Amino acid sequence: MSKEFHRLISLEEALAAVLAHRPRPSAATVPLTEALGRVLAVPAISQIEVPGFDRAAMDGYAVRALDTVEAREDRPIRVRLVGAVGMGQSPDVEVAAGCAAEISTGGMMPKGADAVVMVEYAHELGDCVLVSRPAFSGENTISAGSDIGLFEPVLRAHTVLGPREIGVLAALGIEQVPVLNLDVAVASSGNELLSPGSPLKPARVYDINSYTVAASLRELGAAPRHLGIIPDQKDLFVKELRQAADNSDMVIVSGSTSAGRGDVLYEAIAELGQLLFHGINLKPGKPTVFGLIGETPVLGLPGYPTSALTVFRLLAAPAVMAALGQSKSSTVLRGRLGRPLRSESRRQMLAVALSRGTVHPVDKGSGSITTLARADGFLDIPPSREYLAEGEEVEVHMLAAAQEPDLVLAGESCPALDRAADSMPGLRLLSEGSRQGLKLVRQGVADVASVTSALPGLDTSGLVPLLAYQRDLGLIFRDRPEGRFVGWPKGSAMADLQEGVFRRLALTGSRQGTARSHGAAAAWVASGRADLAFGSRAAAGGLQFRAETGDRIELLSRSDRLGRACDLIAFLRSLRLPGVAVEPQMPE
Amino acid sequence: MSKEFHRLISLEEALAAVLAHRPRPSAATVPLTEALGRVLAVPAISQIEVPGFDRAAMDGYAVRALDTVEAREDRPIRVRLVGAVGMGQSPDVEVAAGCAAEISTGGMMPKGADAVVMVEYAHELGDCVLVSRPAFSGENTISAGSDIGLFEPVLRAHTVLGPREIGVLAALGIEQVPVLNLDVAVASSGNELLSPGSPLKPARVYDINSYTVAASLRELGAAPRHLGIIPDQKDLFVKELRQAADNSDMVIVSGSTSAGRGDVLYEAIAELGQLLFHGINLKPGKPTVFGLIGETPVLGLPGYPTSALTVFRLLAAPAVMAALGQSKSSTVLRGRLGRPLRSESRRQMLAVALSRGTVHPVDKGSGSITTLARADGFLDIPPSREYLAEGEEVEVHMLAAAQEPDLVLAGESCPALDRAADSMPGLRLLSEGSRQGLKLVRQGVADVASVTSALPGLDTSGLVPLLAYQRDLGLIFRDRPEGRFVGWPKGSAMADLQEGVFRRLALTGSRQGTARSHGAAAAWVASGRADLAFGSRAAAGGLQFRAETGDRIELLSRSDRLGRACDLIAFLRSLRLPGVAVEPQMPE
């Protein structure tokens, strides 16, 4: 069962191969209302003049400028009002010498007139208009074609269509927009995979990669065709792969990194077309496969979700962007390492989160969904770098658009803080326990730490106390405080408190699982998966609660982040939750 | 016909009113493949454990750790191979003491086993496996629920769904995604408007705003309903507005700023519901209207496209974002003014382009499409600031995502440069004439200027010459070099050269219009709209060309931008175009 890679190539070689065989987009036409984010296939060359006629640029009176030469405020000249120009209509009046016609902004200039006198300098008097200021020829008018000339190229081919560009196309009268269509078939492969929406079965996991890859393709302006899961059996796999290659401009398959699996794709490409490489000297990304079936490039990504997205960014995104005539496929942001890093002697792409300019690894294991959820991007660590120091400046290749929250709060989980996060869109909560909260605040990743008094000896020196509250902790149950229970993660403050209470009360039910938040603890009971939980009164909701102990939650901030915390403090002061008592103003 | 605004309110008052009556989104369900960019309606709380079972984290052999305690490289222990665990299947083997089962990464741990020995430390020998290293309990396994616990909240309500979040939902098995749906009806109003796609008629212009507003709403995560143009007649307008208000969470109508028009909306709101304000003390935005029909907020934007988008950003975007539980509705970037500005005593939102950190106004007139196309954002200039100095740092409220090009080339237009821009995705061309090109390079807006030798006395001091080429200029025609002609904009180098040639040849046809590029000049002739044009041989394509003169185009760069220009220079050196002769290497 050992895995064979014929020759591991470098990332540079791999990228060169994928770019050399990048897909060829076809042209398609979409209605203007669906063109947002698409890529223009051909230059937009104006087939009209904009405006298409001489227009009034102001509300007023269309006149012959020559007639108004003598007009003065104290000696207005008098012209005869011969009619009005209706909006959107060819004028049915003509302005002869000594005449004027009422006109609105955007109205078509009537024959004979060459200027518009603004309302402010005109006064209607019976069938006449008194003009109190001379107008020059062309004043307050916009001449035909002055904005966009006939046959003028207005948007280049390969322009990404945003709201402004869509407006420009509308102005040119273009309702059917020629866009580049890059049809990319996306599939996942693996016998253990199930489609989301179907009931979970033993030993199976939900397919993730076909969804993340399709969404990433859409973000880049390509048109993903979501094939979902294709089966691992060779003959079925070959059949589906051939169909996908025939019907698409590119095929992206992600499979598990395990040996048997990778080989199915590798063998299928070799059988149907030409294998160009199999194996990159890169972590993650070793089992990456690339080849051609007919003219269609086929890329195989590793199976772990963060690995799949990382290799997608490294290889697929540049090829897709080049195919669509775009120059940049990724954003690189700079940040400083929040802790030192050890790397391997292989080139490594390390998943990291980026917060407040501080970079911290999120690699809980590359198969982890938590890693996927937290990874803002990755570091590209060369084989020569085995140690990176804390504070070192690094480049983060972003997987997602950077969304800088207004305030990052890290530490002890609490329903009161959950409420704040639900109400304050700019607040990001990292409920990772008191110790980790303090660490993240010191690293600058978070602005505020929430710390429980139940963990003695925590070092809060140098941090500014913002607010503190007492909360009731106790048993959450449906009928009686006993039976099967849900616990907290080992080593957490809540786990210690729960253990003490359970020992004191001699509670001996069996442990059903682990909750990482008060809400989850209560949900175990509410759902019947457990009879008993330990947590905050505020989380008990409609369940019964018996207070057994309590703790004090203190919020602490770095002094340079105080300003950010004001809204949170105000919110918590006004919050009324059962079993939560905010202490009076903190001492200065 | 004078316009009446009962009371002009401040922008702050207007925003407060719109936010106080922000629309209420409803919940909808979309398939996961269509969830990109949508806003989650409720928290995603895991109803499963991830992983759902104890999994192998490596390829190898599932064993009882206790059995391997004595294993050493030089003294491997021997366990009996009892079978293999199929991927995606509940193991049909059990690992008793002294036994092992083959397993792949991600496979379900068989009963009895508590660790995986990696392939590297195991050696199959008949029906036995030799293990050469001890395993600890839990080694190379991932325990059920260790990634995501049961009932754990994984994504907050109001999360914007990017590829990562979509992957997290997939991992939880969620295929039907509850999203907030903010249904916003979008219409334009005006008798002069035509829908793009219909043939242009005299005195009419194409509707732009319903498209730009709908696209902007989609960018914000709302669901625009594009109603297109609603007629200006009061009774029809009232009927359509009522329908729109009944069927949507919000209505946005843009009308022309002209008096009659604004009043239709204003009166219709007053008739159907409650008018909350009409008129903001702001340029542009004075004719903005807001009110309620039933519970549905109705916002009326000014008619000029850049004005409509600007007021959309100021008022509609914050309301939409608040309704969707998002904190930030706009991006603000900083830059330095490229030239001094005079403002009015009214608060003004000035459309500007932002390039290389330099801000320059693009206000060719607020009705202009060119303005719309170039406006990256706007400055908010308070009434007290009548003068802003060149170099002053200002904040740009972005209308569009900032797309920083690799190289900005400004100056004389030339088919050779157009070719470069077609081939080099990162190159932005500003074909605004030699004088303006030099100015933009000096201001730092552009990196390279293209300058014609036909304009004597241009100051190129301090700029570094990069490359120069000669080009043939002359008459472009179909049959004979005479007849109706197309000209160049007054004052441009090409206009002067054309005038000289035409005078010398005594060409006396009538001028049909203006071309602003060599390609457009040729297109006038190719289309039959003119018989004769003046331009570069390289633009003549299939038309006839007779050389009459020539000029020398020189590319010049600021010394601090030289590096950016290398690709362009290389491209132009390798380009072969008729009538274009690149000069040998520039002297150092």
- Residues B450 and B420: beta-carbon distance below 8 Å: no
Angle, helices B518-526/B415-423, rounded to nearest 10 degrees: 100
Cβ–Cβ of A153/B517 closer than 8 Å?
A: yes
Cβ–Cβ of A170/B514 closer than 8 Å?
A: no
Cβ–Cβ of A517/B107 closer than 8 Å?
A: no
Residue among B168, B305, B513 whose CB faces A369 most closely: B168
pLDDT at A465 > cutoff 50: yes
CATH 3.65.10.10 is the classification of domain B408-582:
no
The CATH number of A55-142, from 3.60.15.10, 1.10.10.60, 2.170.190.11, 1.10.580.10, is 2.170.190.11
Residue among B170, B192, B516 whose CB faces A88 most closely: B192
Q: What is the pLDDT of residues A491-529, one digit of tens each?
A: 899 999 999 999 999 999 999 989 999 999 999 999 999
Interface test with B, best of A3, A5, A30, A33 (most B CBs within 10 A): A33
**Beta strands at B205-206 and B193-194: parallel, antiparallel or unpaired:** parallel
Q: Tell me the DSSP string of B425-473.
A: TTEEEE-S-HHHHHHHHHHTS-SEEEEETTSTT---TTPEEEEEEEEEE
> Which residues of chain A neighbour B150 with C-beta distances below 8 Å?
513, 515, 520, 523-524, 529
Query: Any bridge partners for residue A296, and if so which?
Result: A293
CATH topology classification for A332-398 = Beta-clip (2.40.340)
Cβ–Cβ of A172/B57 closer than 8 Å?
A: no
Identify the three-state secondary structure at position B311. helix
What is the chain B residue with the closest CA to A420? B156
Q: What is the pLDDT of residues A276-300, one digit of tens each?
A: 999 898 888 888 999 999 999 999 9
pLDDT by residue for chain B (588 residues), tens digit each? Answer: 334 556 789 999 999 999 999 999 998 999 999 999 899 999 999 999 999 999 998 889 999 999 999 999 999 999 999 999 988 889 999 999 999 999 988 899 999 999 999 999 999 998 999 999 999 999 999 988 888 999 999 999 999 999 999 999 999 999 999 999 999 999 999 888 999 999 999 889 999 999 999 999 998 889 999 999 998 888 899 999 999 999 999 999 998 544 454 578 888 999 999 999 998 988 888 889 999 999 999 999 988 899 999 999 999 999 999 999 887 767 889 999 988 888 877 889 999 988 888 898 886 666 788 888 888 999 999 988 889 999 999 999 998 777 778 899 999 999 999 999 988 888 989 888 999 999 999 988 899 999 999 998 899 999 999 999 999 999 999 999 999 999 999 889 999 999 999 999 999 999 998 999 999 999 999 999 999 999 999 999 999 999 999 999 999 999 888 888 888 999 999 999 998 999 887 554
- Residue B284, preceding peptide bond in cis (omega within 30° of 0): yes
pLDDT of residue A329: 65
The DSSP call for residue B199 is: P
pLDDT of residue A338: 86
Q: How far is A310 from chain B (nearest CA, A)?
A: 11
Cβ–Cβ of B150/A104 closer than 8 Å?
A: no
Q: How far is B431 from chain A (nearest CA, A)?
A: 11
pLDDT of residue A200: 92
Query: Any bridge partners for residue B183, and if so which?
Result: B223
Residue among A53, A197, A326 whose CB faces B176 most closely: A197
Q: How far is B100 from chain A (nearest CA, A)?
A: 15
Identify the three-state secondary structure at position A159. coil
Burial class of residue B226 (count of CB atoms within 10 Å of its CB; 0-12, 13-18, 19+): buried
Which residues in chain B are classed under CATH 2.170.190.11?
A: 55-142
CB neighbourhood size of A484 (10 A): 16
Which residues in chain B are classed under CATH 3.40.980.10?
A: 11-25+182-323
Burial class of residue A106 (count of CB atoms within 10 Å of its CB; 0-12, 13-18, 19+): buried
Give CA–CA dist B148/B126, Å, rounded: 40
Cβ–Cβ of B426/A327 closer than 8 Å?
A: yes
Cβ–Cβ of B203/A108 closer than 8 Å?
A: yes
Cβ–Cβ of B191/A87 closer than 8 Å?
A: yes
Question: Secondary structure of B76-145 in the HEC alphabet?
Answer: CEEEEEEEECCCCCCCCCECCCCEEEEECCCCECCECCCEEEEHHHEEEECCEEEECCCCCCCCCEECCC
pLDDT at A74 > cutoff 60: yes
* pLDDT greater at residue B356 or residue A467: A467
Give CA–CA dist B261/B253, Å, rounded: 11
Cβ–Cβ of A171/B325 closer than 8 Å?
A: no
Chain A with chain B: Cβ pairs closer than 8 A: 389
Interface test with B, best of A30, A166, A320 (most B CBs within 10 A): A166
Cβ–Cβ of B167/A142 closer than 8 Å?
A: no
Q: Of A213, A221, A318, which is closest to residue A255 (Cα–Cα)?
A: A213
> Which residues of chain A neighbour B164 with C-beta distances below 8 Å?
212, 309, 372-373, 375, 399-400
pLDDT of residue A191: 85
Q: How far is B167 from chain A (nearest CA, A)?
A: 5
Cβ–Cβ of A212/B163 closer than 8 Å?
A: yes
Question: Secondary structure of A489-506 in the HEC alphabet?
Answer: CCCCHHHHHHHHHHHHHC
Q: How far is A316 from chain B (nearest CA, A)?
A: 15
pLDDT of residue B404: 79
Residue among B49, B119, B149 whose CB faces A2 most closely: B119
pLDDT of residue B586: 59
Beta carbons within 8 Å of A414's beta carbon, 6+ residues apart: A450, A471, A518, A536, A538, A553
Give CA–CA dist B369/B375, Å, rounded: 10
pLDDT of residue A155: 92
Residue among A86, A88, A369 whose CB faces B171 most closely: A369
Burial class of residue A499 (count of CB atoms within 10 Å of its CB; 0-12, 13-18, 19+): middle
Q: How far is A515 from chain B (nearest CA, A)?
A: 6
> Which residues of chain B neighbour A160 with C-beta distances below 8 Å?
403
Residue among A45, A150, A375 whose CB faces B513 most closely: A150
> Which residues of chain B neighbour A175 with C-beta distances below 8 Å?
195-197
The 3-state DSSP composition of chain B as helix, strand, coil percent (nearest 5) reads: 25, 35, 40
CA B320 distance to own-chain centroid: 19
Which residues in chain A are classed under CATH 3.40.190.290?
A: 408-582
- Residues B445 and B437: beta-carbon distance below 8 Å: no
What is the pLDDT confidence band of residue A258, given thresholds at 50, 70 and 90? very low
- Averaged pLDDT for residues A412-427: 91
For the domain spanning A26-50+147-181, the CATH number is 3.90.105.10
CB neighbourhood size of A422 (10 A): 16
Residue among A89, A193, A200 whose CB faces B48 most closely: A200
**Beta strands at B274-278 and B289-293: parallel, antiparallel or unpaired:** antiparallel
Which residues in chain B are classed under CATH 2.40.340.10?
A: 332-398
> Which residues of chain B neighbour A328 with C-beta distances below 8 Å?
426
What is the chain A residue with the closest CA to B490? A146
For the domain spanning B26-50+148-181, the CATH number is 3.90.105.10
- Residues B465 and B586: beta-carbon distance below 8 Å: yes
pLDDT at A36 > cutoff 50: yes
pLDDT of residue A1: 37
Residue among A52, A163, A194 whose CB faces B309 most closely: A163
Q: How far is B462 from chain A (nearest CA, A)?
A: 30
Examine the predicted complex and report whether its ipTM is higher than 0.95.
no
Q: Of A216, A406, A370, which is closest to residue B326 (Cα–Cα)?
A: A406
pLDDT of residue B2: 38
Q: Is the dihedral of CA B116, B118, B121, B123 positive or negative?
A: positive
> Which residues of chain A neighbour B523 with C-beta distances below 8 Å?
45, 150-151
pLDDT of residue B432: 87
Residue among A108, A205, A206 whose CB faces B202 most closely: A108
CATH topology classification for A11-25+182-323 = Molybdenum Cofactor Biosythetic Enzyme; Chain A (3.40.980)
Cβ–Cβ of A163/B48 closer than 8 Å?
A: no
Give CA–CA dist A220/A329, Å, rounded: 8
Cβ–Cβ of B261/A87 closer than 8 Å?
A: yes
The DSSP call for residue A199 is: P
What is the pLDDT confidence band of residue A104, given thresholds at 50, 70 and 90? confident
Interface test with A, best of B211, B286, B517 (most A CBs within 10 A): B211
Q: How far is B274 from chain A (nearest CA, A)?
A: 28
Angle, helices B163-171/A209-219, rounded to nearest 10 degrees: 160
> Which residues of chain B neighbour A202 with C-beta distances below 8 Å?
52-53, 90, 108
Q: State both tokens at A386.
A: 């085995």
